Structure formats: structure tokens, C-alpha cells
Amino acid sequence: MKNFFFILFIVLSGFVTAQISHGGKPLSFGKVLTNNISLHETTVLNTQQYIDEDLITDVHKDIAWRFGIEQAVNLNLNNSGSWETLPNGDRVWRLEIKSKNALSINLNFSSFQLPKGAQFFVFNQKDVLGAFTESNNKTTGEFSTSPIKGDRITLEYFEPLSAQGKGTIQVSSVVHGYRDFFKQLKAFGSAGPCHINAICDTPFWGNEIRSAVMLLTASNTRFCSGALISNVAKDGTPFVLSAFHCNPQTNSIYMFNYQSPDCTNNIDGITTQTVSGCFLRASDAPSDFELVELSSAPPASYKVFYSGWSNINIAPTKGTGIHFPSSDVKKISHDKDPLIESGYYTAGNDHWEVLDWNSGTTEGGSSGSPLYDQNHRIVGQLHGGDADCGNDAFDYYGKFSLSWDANPTNSNQLKFWLDPTNTGTTTTDGYDPNGTPTTLDAVLLDATDVSPFICGDSISPIITIRNNGSSNLTSLIINYELDAGGVNQINWSGNLPTYAIDTISLPTMYVANGNHLLKTYCGNPNSGLDQNILNDSNQVEFKSNDNPLFGTLHFNTDNFGAESSWIIRDASGSTYFESKGYPSTVGGQSFTESLCLYDSCFTLVIRDSYGDGYCCAAVNGSIYLENNFGDTIYVDSTFSSDSLVIPFCLSTTGINEITNNSQFKIYPNPNQGIFTISSQLRAPYQLKIYNIIGKSVYQNNQPKNKEFIDLTTLHAGAYFILIETKESRIVKRIIIN
């Protein structure tokens, strides 16, 4: 498993600052101008090298889809083009640009300032962009145009006599489109079939759903996701958190409430609730974050919510993502398992890893979207990963806790902007600039500390509540019921302000072996009527295992252990166990995982994020899996793909009809390389011994019933003894010290 790599390539910025047109037609269309016009031709490009790079980069979420190559130019009103003066003293400047064999052309401007009454157009025989006017001027002076089909365009600038000499137009680059930008655009209906419309989770995630925002270029091209995020003061400063690799620009557009109004049917959402322009405040590459401040706060009619956050570096017990996969309507994804600390496709601790989404997934376009913990607080933003519909792969989110202040520079940290007065706040619970519409609304957010599979006969649930009402929550009744065994009640008291949370520990409950259902619900907030009963209840299904069979997984990593992960699924396909993350260490490391299972069959899936399995010559990784009798039921050291699927079974009577262990003994074990194998097998058998990477180190085709073995020439470690007859196989592990 090698470290993940990317090929460096030009990330297109050619249309990320484009502006909204105001209509009209160039004067050229009225034939009042002469045919004299200057032509600038760009360098002819060989695009094959870029096409070859695209074959690699297109499959990664964290690399923007590239369609054009940016060519630097220096074209302005003084050194290029041609002027023509009209009879009334007004002037027109025109320039034609050709980029041979381009499928499209768009332009970047380093300086763009139009005086009152001036108009600017970019056009060809089929398409017209403009008029652009003084309303398109920005304090940064930047400007750009969206792509126009073809390899030839005309620029036309009209300047009235009253503003003569006051306009500035400086073209800094021409983007040669070598791939069809217009066919690539993704939008409504593009996401995979496994996604869940965000509106389905409105009762519990309605506030956070209102925070989600889609990022668009100024030419209305959709490209990433983000979230409106609160500062400590909760003063409505419109900060948006997204990903560094999304590369938002000062003229990007932020679209709110683009979501399906229906849960079960995918219906296109509204696209009119936008804010144009932003100020770039902070960004940093290690955790891949970008914080911008919108040019204006979203109006009250948008009904937005500013999400809360946590800068505490503790692994969340659950994870939820809200995003726009493939620029489709807003979706929501849930991981019910603890998040894993990880690097980005390698060793490290600057990311949270979602090993396997339990519902939904992510796609391109989801990049930059928020990751929420079990308390509905942002803990990261999507950097990349392999998760998609049809697989159970992983995603990586840059850590909020690292983005907070790991970098001391103000422009590379969140703290300076979200907590400028240095209050020391570690968590905040969000903010609604319009105020909550209800006075009394208690939410039963979640019941945690109840895993889907319980090893043992008891649970000790923790209930999380939140106050969604405008009045402080001071009292609440919590009811809970296990398997229709009767309702129990807890009277809670406290003083929760709006959007604050609290946790309540329920008494330990004892359960028999099998499937169970825990129902929890709340009511009577402040001894009154809850004004929203849709978010008052929660239920957790789980399976208890009060008579477990313990298997053992021995996992030896190669140099790149951080690329390794595994999950165990039961016969229904549900995730029963999963790894907690491994470090990357030169020479690898050995780990032993105790598996609390039961009499049944399972599937072990080992995954490598890089896709090359075990590697590194002399430092190969390996696994071996033991059943509850200590028999090795699987050994592998040749894994060389992105995943390895291993079916296995545990049983109270043995595995695969293996002969009773009393017929086969090894002593002493552990030993120093000299030991005895005693067999009561009646039939002829073969004796083989393997090291942990599967290499044979000893073989005897006609062993005696008592065989003395001398392996003192071998290195210390674990070895496997295999005895085979025509009817049975026996595998045992020995340790040489």
C-alpha cells in the first residue's frame, strides 16, 4: 500500500469570477461600425498531455473537473484592438481573439472597471454575453466570462463621450476549452440512486439543512458544497465553511435552499435564493478548509440557519453529511459508527474518516460539505474519498479542530474569525437570525451508547435533548420503553437556552440474547404543550449477544497501515465490527483484534485506500483469522487490490467439520523451535508448516503419530501447522520465541 498521490495540473479558474449579464446587443449587430477589427491569436496547444492527465484526475472528488487550459495574455484598451469614434463622439473598442481548435473560450480579467453609461459584450455568431455595466464592477477589480462555444470570439466595449478615457479593461488570460464543458455540466437528477433527499430528515436536522449552501461560479456553474456557520458572538456575520480545494473566488455565488420539496420523489428545487460575492477570510491545505464571508447576509426570506461547531479533537460517535452530490438537490448521509482519526489517504491526524456510510453517500459536488457530530455540530468538511453508490468505501473530512488554530497565521485559521475576542469557546450550538418560530419545542436528538450489536446482556443508553424553542427549557419528561416492557419515566430539570443541548443517562437495562427495540420520547416542556411533536421521539434497534463466541483477527500492516481498514458483516449484510484506524509505520506493526461474534457465518472485508493491497517487498502485510477454538481459518499475505472479501463461520462445534482437536496436540506451545506433534488420526495424513506470509517452511508427507520437530533455524514469530487427510483439515498456530 503506497502513499496516495496526485498529478499536479492547472486548476481552471477561468470562469469562477464571471458576472451576470444585463441584456442588450452589441453595436456591431446594427452594422453601424466598420469591418476593421484587430485579431489576436493564442499559441496553438497540443492537448493530448492534458487528456492523459484527466484519465487519472477525473476519478477523484477533490480535483475539479478540468475542461480548459489557461494561457496568459496582456490585452487592454491601449495595446490591443481598434477604436472607432461615432458621429456623436461616443467610442467603440473591439478585439477578436482566436484560440485554434478550441471547443470553447472564456476570459479572465485582472482589471475591469466600467464608467457609468458604458457597456461591454463578448460574443460570436451564435452566443452573446452582456451587456456588462458599472454594476458588474467589484472592489477587487477582477472579472471573467463564462465559456462561449467555438474557437473565435469578439470583445466590444462601448464608451459614451461623457466617460471618455475612464474605462479599464485588462484581459490577463484566455482559457482554451479542450473538453466539452457544456456536456459535462451536472445538475438536477445527476446524483446516484442511493441518495436520500435532505427534506426527509427535517424533523431532526431541519436547522442544519437550512445551513447547507451550494457554491456556483459567477456564471452559475455548480461546483461544490458548503455551510453557513456561526461565530461565537452569534451576530449574523455570514461566514461560509467549505473546502480549500474547491477554490471559491470573490465573485462566486452561494445558493440556499436548493432542495427537493418531496421526500420520496426527486423534485427540482428553487434556484433564486442566492448571494453573489464574498471575501476570502482564511484557508489552509492540511485540513483542506476555506472560510469566506459573504458580501451580504442572506435576507430573512431565505430562513437560513447558522450551524454550530465543535473544535474539540475527540472522535464523534456518529457522523452526518448534508451536501449536493453531482450538483443535484440537497441530500443527507448518515454514519452510525464512530469516526476514525486519519490522514488523507495516508498516515496522520488531520482528518476524520467515515469508514462506511450507513445511509446515503457522497459524490463529486459534495466536496466542502459539512460533517456534523452526534450533537449537530460541524467537526469537518469533505476533502475527498472513494465512497459512492454501489460501494461501502470511505470518505475523508478535514478536521475542524485542526483548522481552528493549528496554524498561527490569521489567514490560515478559523479561530481569528469565529472567536476574534479569544473567549476560549470550544463548542457553539448554532444561531437563527430570524429567531425560532416556536416558544416550546424540545427535541429528543438521539439515543447513544447503544451499538447495533451488543456484546453482553446490558445497555446503558445516553439521551441527548435540544431546546428548539425561544423560551429557556427548564423542565421535561423523558419516557423510555424497551421491547414493549412498559414505559419508564425520568423528570429532567435544567436551564437550556435556545439550541443548547444536554445529555441524560438512562439506568442500565438487561436484555436477553436476540433483537431488541429501545423507544424514547419526550414531552411536557416547561409543563406545557410541545409545539412540534415530530421531533419528540427516537428509537434504536439493536441485537444483543449474551453468549458470544470470540474470534481473533491478527493484522500485520505494511509500511502504509493508514491505508488499511476492515469491516465484518453479518449474514444480513449489516456492519457488525469495523477497524478503528492504523498508523503508517516503517516496517509495519502487528495488531490483534478480539471479535465478539456468535454461532453464524460472516464476511470480513479488508480494504486498501490506495488500491494495491499489501506491498513493500520485505515488509509485506498479512492477516490471519482464528475461530473460537484457536484454529486458524484464514491466512493471507498476497492481497494486491483495493479490497479482499473473506467469508467465514464460527460454531460451537467447530468449523467446516474439522476433526476434534483432541486428536491433534502440540507441546510445548509456545516453544523455542523444538516441539512435539502428537496425533491420534487413523488415516494417513500430511503435515505442513507455514510462516505468517504463507511460505512453506516444513513438510512431511508420512509423519509418525508422534513427530519431533526442530525449527530452531527459523526466526521467532507465529507459524501455522496444517494436517490434512482426505476427510479433514486441522490448522493450529504455534509461537516460536
End-to-end CA distance of the chain: 29
- Is 367 a known active-site residue? yes
pLDDT tens-place string over residues 526-543: 999 999 999 999 999 998
Q: 202-216, 283-297, 366-380, 607-621 — which is least confidently predicted?
A: 607-621
Q: What is the DSSP string of 31-79?
A: T-S-S--EEEEPPPP-THHHHHHHHHHTT-TTSPPP-EEEEEEEEETTT
Of 438, 385, 400, 376, give the one whose Cα is nearest residue 209. Answer: 376
Q: What is the Cα 249 distance to its own chain's centre?
A: 22
Confidence of residue 21 (pLDDT cuts 50, 70, 90): low
Residue 230 CB contacts under 8 Å (≥ 6 apart), including other chains:
239, 306, 307, 308, 309, 418, 428, 430, 431
The predicted pLDDT at position 167 comes to 95
Most confident of 282-286, 677-681, 712-716: 282-286
Under a CB-based contact definition with an 8 Å cutoff, are residues 659 and 730 in contact? yes
The predicted pLDDT at position 658 comes to 37
pLDDT tens-place string over residues 263-273: 988 899 988 89
367, 369, 401, 564: which is the annotated catalytic residue?
367
Rounded Cα distance, 72 and 175, in Å: 9
Under a CB-based contact definition with an 8 Å cutoff, are residues 373 and 318 in contact? yes
Evaluate if residue 3 carries a pLDDT over 60: no
Evaluate if residue 27 carries a pLDDT over 70: yes
Of 707, 716, 708, 709, give the one whose Cα is nearest residue 672. Answer: 716
Confidence of residue 350 (pLDDT cuts 50, 70, 90): very high
288, 419, 558, 570: which is the annotated catalytic residue?
288
pLDDT tens-place string over residues 112-146: 999 999 999 999 988 898 889 998 887 778 888 87
Most confident of 20-29, 44-53, 330-339: 330-339
Confidence of residue 494 (pLDDT cuts 50, 70, 90): very high
Domains in the chain, CATH or no CATH each: 27-184 (no CATH), 198-428 (2.40.10.10), 442-545 (2.60.40.10), 549-650 (2.60.40), 661-736 (2.60.40.3080)
245, 351, 383, 554: which is the annotated catalytic residue?
245
313 vs 216, residue with greater confidence: 313
Share of the chain above pLDDT 70, in %: 91
Rounded Cα distance, 153 and 167, in Å: 21
Q: 202-216, 431-445, 561-575 — which is least confidently predicted?
A: 561-575
Confidence of residue 288 (pLDDT cuts 50, 70, 90): very high
Evaluate if residue 11 carries a pLDDT over 50: no
**What average pLDDT score do residues 550-570 get?**
85
DSSP 431: B
Rounded Cα distance, 666 and 366, in Å: 56
Measured over the CA atoms of residue 706, residue 710, residue 716 and residue 717, the dihedral's sign is negative
Buried b (16+ CB within 10 A) or exposed e, 583-619: bbeeebeebebebebbeeebebbbbbbbebbbbbeeb
Q: 77-91, 309-323, 443-457, 526-540 — which is least confidently predicted?
A: 443-457
DSSP 508: P
Under a CB-based contact definition with an 8 Å cutoff, are residues 369 and 333 in contact? no
Using alpha carbons, list the distances in angstroms from residue 691 to 253, 633, 669, 675.
Answer: 60, 15, 16, 16
**What average pLDDT score do residues 360-375 get?**
94
Question: Model-level pTM?
Answer: 0.68
C-beta atoms surrounding 376 within 10 Å = 24
Most confident of 186-190, 263-267, 334-338, 486-490: 486-490
Q: Given 3-state DSSP classes, what are the helix, strand and coil percentages for the chain, each rounded to the nearest 5?
A: 10, 40, 50
Mean residue pLDDT of the chain comes to 86
Confidence of residue 14 (pLDDT cuts 50, 70, 90): very low
The predicted pLDDT at position 17 comes to 36
pLDDT tens-place string over residues 204-234: 999 999 999 999 876 667 889 999 999 999 9
Q: What is the Cα 621 distance to its own chain's centre?
A: 27
The predicted pLDDT at position 637 comes to 80
pLDDT tens-place string over residues 606-630: 888 777 887 765 567 888 888 877 7
Buried b (16+ CB within 10 A) or exposed e, 450-463: bbebbbeeebebeb
Using alpha carbons, list the distances in angstroms from residue 463 to 113, 208, 374, 683.
Answer: 58, 20, 11, 61
- Is 323 a known active-site residue? no
**What average pLDDT score do residues 697-724 get?**
84
Rounded Cα distance, 322 and 493, in Å: 32
According to DSSP, the β-strands at 453-455 and 537-545 are: parallel
Confidence of residue 20 (pLDDT cuts 50, 70, 90): low
Confidence of residue 8 (pLDDT cuts 50, 70, 90): very low
pLDDT tens-place string over residues 620-676: 788 888 887 777 778 888 888 878 888 887 776 543 333 344 567 888 888 899 999
The helix or strand, by DSSP H or E, that contains position 395, with its residue range, turns out to be strand 395-399
The predicted pLDDT at position 571 comes to 76
DSSP 163: G
The predicted pLDDT at position 656 comes to 39
DSSP 368: T
- Is 376 a known active-site residue? no
Query: Which residue type sits at 402?
Result: L
Evaluate if residue 175 carries a pLDDT over 80: yes
